[in-house]
Every structure is written in structure tokens, then in C-alpha cells.
Amino acid sequence: NAGVTQTPKFQVLKTGQSMTLQCAQDMNHNSMYWYRQDPGMGLRLIYYSASEGTTDKGEVPNGYNVSRLNKREFSLRLESAAPSQTSVYFCASSEGGGSYNEQFFGPGTRLTVL
């Protein structure tokens, strides 16, 4: 099992460009999450999908959109990138949406917006 995979690993964008971060999991998990990690800020939830077909905003959703393509895949789109979106992005999944479930994390995407 690969667990949670993310592509790309690194990306540099210019202000105003768009891109999609891809995430896939092979653990048959129902719930998936997108976080951003910034120095001294910990992890902040951008969007999550408790189950296939549903998505909800997290703490910092502005400037992002998500798509739960199927049970395996959950993508994050930046329509018009801004320097404030320079960050490391992590995707995670869990068996269910229950708050007791362990989350499994991908290796991250390091995004720089110039």
C-alpha cells in the first residue's frame, strides 16, 4: 500500500497563476483533508470531505477550491495564486469522519508563489 500520495512534491508559481494539487489514498478511507503548514502556525485545515460527495470548509478556505473526484482522490485548486499561499500543503485521510479516527498524512507539496 502506498498510503496517501501527493503530486507534485514541489511547485513554483507566479502570482495569478492557477494550479491543482492532487491527492490519492489507497486505504479505502471515507474522509479526506487538506491542510497548510506555515512556520510557527502549525497545521490549519483548508477543506475536508467527510465522505464521497461532500466537502466542507475548514479554518482557512479563502482562495482555494476542492473536488472529491471519487473515494480515492481529493484535489485542491488555487485559481489565482498569491504570495500568501506560499506554504507546505498536506493531504490526509481517515477511515471515517469520526473524531476518534487516526489521520494518515501524505508527504506534502512545497509551494512557492512569487
Partner 1 sequence: AQSVTQLDSQVPVFEEAPVELRCNYSSSVSVYLFWYVQYPNQGLQLLLKYLSGSTLVESINGFEAEFNKSQTSFHLRKPSVHISDTAEYFCAVSEASGNTPLVFGKGTRLSVIA
Dist CA 30 CA 94 (whole Å):
7
DSSP state of 100: T
Dist CA 37 CA 85 (whole Å):
10
Dist CA 78 CA 27 (whole Å):
26
For residue 1 the three cell numbers come to 500500500
Q: Cell 475548514: give the residue.
A: 58
User: By CB under 8 A, which span of 12-20, 38-46, 61-69, 75-83 interacts with partner 1?
Assistant: 38-46
What is the rounded (10 degree) CA torsion for 94, 48, 45, 77?
Answer: 120
Interface of this chain with partner 1, residues 59 to 88, rule: CB under 8 A:
none
Among 19, 22, 27, 45, binds partner 1 (CB under 8 A): 45
Q: Which is nearer to partner 1, 20 or 54 (CB)?
A: 54
User: By CB under 8 A, which span of 22-30, 40-48, 67-75, 77-85 interacts with partner 1?
Assistant: 40-48
Q: Which is nearer to partner 1, 44 or 77 (CB)?
A: 44
Contact between 50 and partner 1 (CB under 8 A)? yes
Residues found near partner 1 in the complex (CB under 8 A): 4, 33, 40-45, 48, 50, 58, 90, 92, 97-100, 102-108
